[in-house]
Amino acid sequence: MQEISLIRLMWVSAMSLAAGAGYWWGAGQQATRADGKERVMSARARGEVDVNAPRRSPVDVVRETIKGSLDDREQWRQIRGFSEDEVKAAIKELGSPSRMMSLRHSLPAMLFYRWAEIDPVAANEAAKKMFPKRFSGERKAVITAWIKQDGGAAAWYAVNHGETTSGGWDCSLSVETEVADMLVASLSNLDDASAFKQAPRLDEEDSMIAVKLCEVRARKAFMTAESRAAFLAAAAKDPNGLLLKSARESLFREWAKVDAKAALAGLMEQSISEEERKSLSNDIRREDGFKNPSIFDKP
Beta strands in the chain (DSSP E): none
Share of the chain above pLDDT 70, in %: 61
Residue 169: its pLDDT value, please?
37
Please give the model's pTM, rounded to 2 decimal places: 0.47
pLDDT over 70 at 199, yes or no: yes
The answer to whether 141 touches 100, Cβ cutoff 8 Å, is: no
Q: Who has greater pLDDT, 10 or 103?
A: 103
pLDDT bracket for residue 223 (50, 70, 90): very high
Average pLDDT, the chain: 70
| Three-state secondary structure call for residue 132 | coil
Q: Who has greater pLDDT, 160 or 99?
A: 99
pLDDT bracket for residue 168 (50, 70, 90): very low
Q: Is 150 exposed, middle or buried (0-12, 13-18, 19+ CB in 10 A)?
A: middle
pLDDT bracket for residue 167 (50, 70, 90): very low
CA 266 to CA 260: how far, in whole Å?
A: 10
Mind giving me the DSSP string for 193-236? HHHHHHHHHHHTT-TTHHHHHHHHHHHHHTTSHHHHHHHHHHHT
pLDDT bracket for residue 246 (50, 70, 90): very high
CA 71 to CA 65: how far, in whole Å?
A: 7
CA 27 to CA 23: how far, in whole Å?
A: 12
pLDDT over 80 at 273, yes or no: yes
State the first-to-last Cα distance of the chain, in angstroms, to the nearest integer: 66
CA 73 to CA 101: how far, in whole Å?
A: 20
Contacts of 190 (CB under 8 A, 6+ apart): 198
Residue 29: its pLDDT value, please?
25
Per-domain boundaries in the chain = 6-134, 187-296
Tell me which long-range contacts 165-172 makes (C-beta under 8 A, separation of at least 24): 167/5, 167/7, 168/5, 168/7, 168/8, 168/11, 169/7, 169/8, 169/11, 170/135, 171/140, 171/143, 171/144, 171/147, 172/135, 172/143, 172/205, 172/206
Residue 1: its pLDDT value, please?
33
CA 4 to CA 286: how far, in whole Å?
A: 45
Mean pLDDT to the nearest integer, 120-146: 76
Longest Cα pair distance anywhere in the chain, in angstroms?
81
pLDDT bracket for residue 163 (50, 70, 90): very low
CA 283 to CA 249: how far, in whole Å?
A: 8
Q: Who has greater pLDDT, 192 or 173?
A: 192
The predicted-structure confidence for 16-48, as pLDDT tens digits, reads as follows 333 322 333 332 222 222 222 222 233 333 333
pLDDT bracket for residue 127 (50, 70, 90): confident
Residue 250: its pLDDT value, please?
94
Amino acid at 150: D
CA 97 to CA 294: how far, in whole Å?
A: 64
Q: Who has greater pLDDT, 117 or 187?
A: 117
Handedness of CA 76, 78, 80, 84 (dihedral sign): negative
pLDDT bracket for residue 176 (50, 70, 90): low
pLDDT bracket for residue 205 (50, 70, 90): low
